[in-house]
């Protein structure tokens, strides 16, 4: 009985810490993925738990589903969230030839929004690299039309300077860097040059100090080049082990972010 009480307290703790802004981040849902047969059930549980935490907003940071039917199934579950919802595309959502399909379903793939005087800039990391071949040993080029889209997005991003000192937090699917001890050196897992240099230059110009990302399926927080990278865990499956769950970010008025990883009890990968 005592152990059960401790588990309940640990689950409630991330929801109870004070902050100016609380953001729940759900990532790597992967409905329709053969390796994640329980993805829909896990997402349903995630929505219930997020609602209990009463965040100010929810971010879904990519890899929503494997096809149009999976997208709709995910949207049917996510519509039960009680907080405002913001979508971010992942590499399983936007490929090198279907950008418009994503836009027709979810709207803009890069944009800006504000929650209680904290500004967020959503970046489409699929316009910063070609992630079509998992086994590729060298970064693959973007097709010409996607390269044009990339240039348009980066030009837009350069214009997103904060107004009146408001904190600006970045959100995208693929992290720009690995942390120490990351188990795989494939280009697939991060943004690579020349896009890495281009993006980092702009992020530094904008004064971005915090980035909310996904893609790795396990939760991490680390610092590289003056930016804290907050990697949300997956709700679907675990290529590297760890725990399924979601991230709860507490953000102060000056834009500092502390991240709690909330485990999904009983979830099956």
17-263, what's its fold?
A: Purple Acid Phosphatase; chain A, domain 2 (3.60.21)
* Angular region, 6: left φ>0, alpha ψ -120 to 50, beta rest: alpha
Q: Contact, 131 vs 188, CB < 8 A? A: yes
Q: For the chain (length 269 residues), average pLDDT per consecutive 10? A: 36 57 98 96 97 97 96 98 98 92 97 95 98 96 96 97 82 96 94 98 97 96 97 95 94 94 89
Tens of pLDDT, residues 91-145: 999 998 889 999 999 999 999 999 999 999 999 999 999 999 999 999 999 999 9
Task: Check if the beta carbon of residue 109 is closer than 8 Å to that of residue 102.
Answer: yes
Per-residue pLDDT at 269: 81
Enumerate the domain spans of the chain: 17-263
- Give yes or no for a contact between 219 and 241, defined as CB atoms under 8 angstroms apart: no
The predicted structure's pLDDT at residue 2: 36
Residues 6+ apart with CB under 8 A from 189: 174, 175, 178, 182, 215, 216
Residue 198 falls in which region: left (phi positive, over 0), alpha (psi -120 to 50) or beta: alpha
So what's the pLDDT on residue 241?
Answer: 84
pLDDT of the residue at 138: 96
**CA–CA dist 187, 135 (Å, integer):** 9
């Amino acid at each position: 009985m005592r152990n059960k009480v401790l588990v309940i307290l640990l689950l409630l703790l991330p929801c109870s810490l004070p902050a100016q802004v609380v953001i729940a981040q759900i990532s790597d849902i992967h409905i329709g993925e053969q390796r994640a047969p329980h993805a829909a059930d896990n997402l349903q549980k995630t929505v219930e738990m997020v609602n209990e935490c009463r965040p100010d907003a929810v971010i879904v940071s990519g890899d929503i589903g494997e096809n149009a039917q999976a997208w709709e199934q995910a949207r049917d579950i996510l519509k039960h969230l009680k907080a405002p919802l913001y979508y971010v595309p992942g590499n399983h959502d936007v490929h090198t030839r279907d950008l418009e399909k994503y836009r027709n379903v979810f709207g803009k793939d890069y944009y800006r929004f504000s929650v209680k005087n904290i500004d967020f800039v959503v970046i489409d990391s699929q316009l910063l690299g070609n992630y079509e071949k998992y086994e590729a040993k060298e970064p693959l080029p973007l097709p010409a039309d996607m390269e044009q889209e990339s240039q348009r997005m980066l030009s837009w991003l350069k214009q997103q300077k904060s107004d009146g000192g408001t904190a600006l937090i970045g959100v995208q699917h693929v992290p720009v860097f690995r942390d120490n001890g990351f188990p795989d050196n494939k280009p697939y897992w991060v943004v690579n040059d020349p896009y890495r240099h281009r993006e980092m230059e702009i992020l530094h110009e904008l004064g971005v100090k915090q980035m909310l990302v996904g893609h790795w399926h396990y939760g991490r927080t680390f610092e590289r080049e003056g930016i804290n990278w907050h990697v949300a865990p997956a709700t679907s499956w675990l290529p590297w082990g760890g725990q399924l769950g979601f991230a709860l970010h507490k953000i102060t008025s000056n834009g500092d972010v502390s991240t709690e990883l909330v485990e999904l009890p009983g979830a099956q990968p």
